[in-house]
């Protein structure tokens, strides 16, 4: 008798070549310490770890916008559910990770590609690998100006969320953050713009390595500091 193991489809888009990387992952194969889903161009890889004790799956996903990958923890039940769920870049509205039923994952991967191509065209970028500048370069001042302006707008509208909120309070009321008087500091680092709360110490670094990053951040409704 053959036991039908739980399995799901995972995918991401390679930040180096722009190609979609997709694979089926089963519960038995995930019993290993780590699965690495690599792009054929060898420029990126997604790492998947099954954390049995916590009943979670940890995914480390390369980002089409940022210089560093993002890590997500999802429950094992959600990871192996038949529904598709999407993992977005924390700094944009673009999804970078896709998990779920095979055909739905492929559809979402294709839809995201169209969004990216539109953004590339608007910013005069012809190659996906051009999204990332030299690792040793400081962020472009024009990009910093754009992101700094957006951060100020979010702060003025009460849309920056940090640990200063009382436990149990909903972060959004009537579409706007109902915050206490928090003191947010903004400073430039080699990685981008760091926004931090002087009271609770929560922080977030917003990549500022390209105009495409700034363009994506324009669509942000709020900024969460951790």
Single pTM value for the model = 0.58
The count of C-alpha atoms lying within 13 angstroms of the C-alpha of 67, restricted to the half-sphere facing its C-beta, is: 17
State the average pLDDT over residues 22-28. Answer: 81
pLDDT at 226: 84
CA dihedral 103, 104, 105, 106 (to 10 degrees): 50
> From CA 201, how far away is CA 217, in angstroms rounded?
22
Residue, of 70 and 123, whose pLDDT is higher: 70
pLDDT at 27: 67
Two tokens at 90?
């924390």
With 50 as the cut, is the pLDDT of residue 176 above it? no
Two tokens at 213?
């990053």
Report helix, strand or coil for 150.
Answer: helix
pLDDT at 135: 42
| Nearest of 142, 144, 71, 108 to residue 116 by alpha carbon | 108
With 80 as the cut, is the pLDDT of residue 167 above it? no
Angle at alpha carbon of residue 99, lines to 97 and 102, rounded to 5°: 125
Strand-pairing partners, residue 13, are: 20
pLDDT at 29: 65
Alpha helix positions (H), the chain: 76-79, 102-122, 141-156, 211-217
State the average pLDDT over residues 166-182. Answer: 47
Tens-digit pLDDT profile for residues 120-165:
777 666 566 555 544 444 445 566 667 777 788 788 777 888 887 6
State the average pLDDT over residues 1-22. Answer: 78
CA distances from 52 to 16, 27, 193 (A): 32, 11, 36
């Amino acid at each position: 008798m053959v036991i039908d193991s739980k399995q799901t489809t995972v995918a991401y888009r390679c930040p180096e070549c722009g190609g979609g990387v997709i694979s089926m992952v089963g519960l038995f194969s995930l019993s290993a310490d780590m699965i690495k889903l690599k792009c054929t161009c060898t420029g990126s890889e997604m790492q998947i770890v099954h954390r049995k004790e916590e009943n979670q799956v940890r995914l480390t996903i390369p980002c089409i916008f940022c210089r560093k990958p993002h890590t997500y923890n999802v429950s094992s039940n959600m990871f192996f559910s038949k529904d598709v769920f999407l993992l977005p870049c924390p700094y944009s509205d673009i999804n970078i990770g896709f998990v779920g039923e095979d055909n739905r994952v492929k559809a979402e991967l294709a839809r995201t590609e169209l969004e990216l191509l539109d953004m590339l065209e608007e910013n005069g970028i012809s190659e996906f690998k051009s999204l990332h500048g030299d690792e040793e370069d400081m962020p472009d001042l024009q990009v910093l100006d754009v992101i700094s302006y957006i951060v100020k707008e979010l702060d003025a509208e009460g849309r920056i969320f940090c640990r200063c909120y009382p436990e149990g309070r909903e972060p959004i009321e009537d579409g706007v953050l109902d915050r206490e008087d928090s003191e947010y500091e903004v400073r430039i680092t080699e990685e981008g713009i760091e926004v931090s709360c002087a009271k609770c110490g929560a922080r977030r670094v917003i990549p500022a390595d390209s105009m495409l990053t700034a363009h994506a951040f324009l669509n942000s409704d709020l900024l969460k500091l951790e």
